[in-house]
Amino acid sequence: MKIEVLTLFPEMFEALKSGVVGKALEKEIFTVNVTNIRNYSKDKHKKCDDSPFGGGAGMVMTPDPIHSAINAVDGEHKCRRIYMSPKGKTLSQELVENYAKEENILFLCGSYEGIDERIIELDIDEELSIGDYVLTGGELPCMVAINAVSRYIKGVLGSDESTSEESFASGLLEYPQYTRPQEYMGLSVPDVLLSGNHAEIAKWRYNEQVRITKERRPDLIKEDE
Ligand code: 4GS
């Protein structure tokens, strides 16, 4: 997969260089190409924002630098073009798995009060939100989406970190995990996990998943199953 990112804050994407995603990028299992929208401003001061028509607080990103940047990186419109915005469809594990099937994705990150609406009309395929709260820019949401999607790209996760056993893959929240030491601050690991009985362990874990999901996220339990 090839991911194009357009932003006024390219340095934020240094954060992708850590951990499992960083390793995958080093190995070129997928690529992220970050473009600074400011490089496409024709203004002598490289200005990329202006005050909103109609008045109101803050600044709006002007259309031309964004339009030129999109055309420079995806002139043939090979990418699924996504604008990060609270108005978009909310990111879900289902949507993550769907994005993971794409060969080319472009993420546009807005700053300030947002971007000129005509860019959404002219150049964007869909809007995507990571949840109902307002951030200062689309960069963190974009990295959330890239991180979640990358886990479904073959070779990104090691064999012990599969996507099949976790929360949401099963539709249930995860069971509790324990590691050494066997006793910590007077608290013991549940005996069944030390029993070596794999059928019993699987049963215990499943029961814990159901118990925790009913308690914390009853909305995830579908009545017809
Ligand atoms: C989100 C969000 C967001 C909205 C960007 C105000 C700057 C900001 N983007 N999911 N203008 N939540 N964007 O808060 O995607």
Contacts of 30 (CB under 8 A, 6+ apart): 1, 2, 3, 24, 150, 153, 156
Give the DSSP letter of residue 83: E
What's the whole-model pTM score?
Answer: 0.96
The pLDDT value given to residue 17: 98
d(CA 196, CA 86): 47
From ligand 1's centre to the CA of 161, what distance in Å? 30
SS (H, E, C) 105-120: EEEECCECCCECHHHH
Closest C-alpha to 81, from 65, 105, 101? 105
3-state secondary structure of 71: helix
| 144 within ligand 1 shell (Cβ under 6 A) | no
Q: Evaluate: CB of 87 within 6 angstroms of ligand 1.
A: no
Give the SS3 label for residue 6.
Answer: strand
Q: What are the strands of the beta sheet with 126-129, ordered from one edge?
A: 31-36, 2-7, 104-108, 80-90, 126-129
What are the helix and strand counts (H, E) for the chain? 6, 9
**SS3 category, 131:** coil
Which residues lie below 8 Å from residue 74, measured CB to CB, with a gap of 6+? 4, 81, 104, 106
Strands 60-61, 104-108: pairing is unpaired
Summarize pLDDT for 163-196 with one digit per residue, the tens: 876 666 679 999 999 999 999 999 999 999 999 9
Residue 31 banded pLDDT, cuts 50, 70, 90 = very high
d(CA 131, CA 52): 25
210 vs 161: which has the higher pLDDT: 210
Tens digits of residue pLDDT in 123-175: 999 999 999 999 999 999 999 999 999 999 999 998 877 787 666 667 999 99
- Among 84, 95, 124, 147, name the best residue to mutate to test ligand 1's pocket (greatest count of ligand atoms within 8 A of Cβ): 84
CA–centroid distance for 183 within its chain? 36
Structure tokens given for 165: 């056993």
Q: Is 129 in the pocket of ligand 1 (CB under 6 A)?
A: yes
Q: Is the C-beta atom of 199 inside 6 A of ligand 1?
A: no
How far is ligand 1, taken at its centre, from the CA of residue 142, in Å?
10
Q: Is 7 in the pocket of ligand 1 (CB under 6 A)?
A: no
Q: Which atom of ligand 1 is nearest to the CA of 136?
A: 7
Band of the pLDDT at 222, cuts 50, 70, 90? confident
